[in-house]
């Protein structure tokens, strides 16, 4: 076991690490690019998300329905384009 100073030092290091991670996440979430991307995701895929989370059937059936409904273009490409246009 370490001394009190060693234990205290580790608490400060871990606390600083968590503070830095929290600040980095906060800065990314406040970015207009991320905000537009999330809003475009919700707008373009709201029906698929509703079926995924609140639809009827087993989890496997809902996931299969979600993956058959959502395409790469609607899930990634269009939200990225909206983010670039809207965030700039």
Provide the percentage of residues in the chain whose pLDDT is more than 90: 44
Q: Quote the pTM value.
A: 0.59
User: Same domain for 55 and 14?
Assistant: no
User: Same domain for 40 and 81?
Assistant: yes
Would you state the structure tokens that stand for residue 3, as one six-digit string?
């001394």
For 9, 17, 76, 77, the CA distances from 40, given in Å and listed in that order, are 44, 32, 10, 10
User: Same domain for 14 and 42?
Assistant: no
User: Same domain for 15 and 37?
Assistant: no
Residue range(s) defining the domain that contains residue 57: 31-88
The total domain count for the chain is 2
User: Same domain for 58 and 85?
Assistant: yes
At 2 the pLDDT is 52
User: Same domain for 11 and 22?
Assistant: yes
User: Same domain for 41 and 64?
Assistant: yes
Q: Specify whether the CB–CB gap between 44 and 79 falls below 8 A.
A: yes
């Amino acid at each position: 076991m370490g001394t009190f100073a060693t234990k205290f030092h580790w608490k400060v290091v871990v606390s600083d690490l968590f503070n830095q991670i929290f600040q980095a996440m906060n800065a990314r979430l406040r970015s207009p690019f991320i905000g537009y991307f999330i809003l475009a995701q919700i707008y373009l895929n709201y029906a698929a998300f509703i079926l995924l989370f609140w639809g009827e059937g087993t989890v496997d059936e809902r996931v299969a329905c979600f993956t058959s409904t959502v395409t790469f273009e609607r899930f990634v490409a269009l939200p990225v384009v909206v983010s670039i246009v809207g965030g700039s």
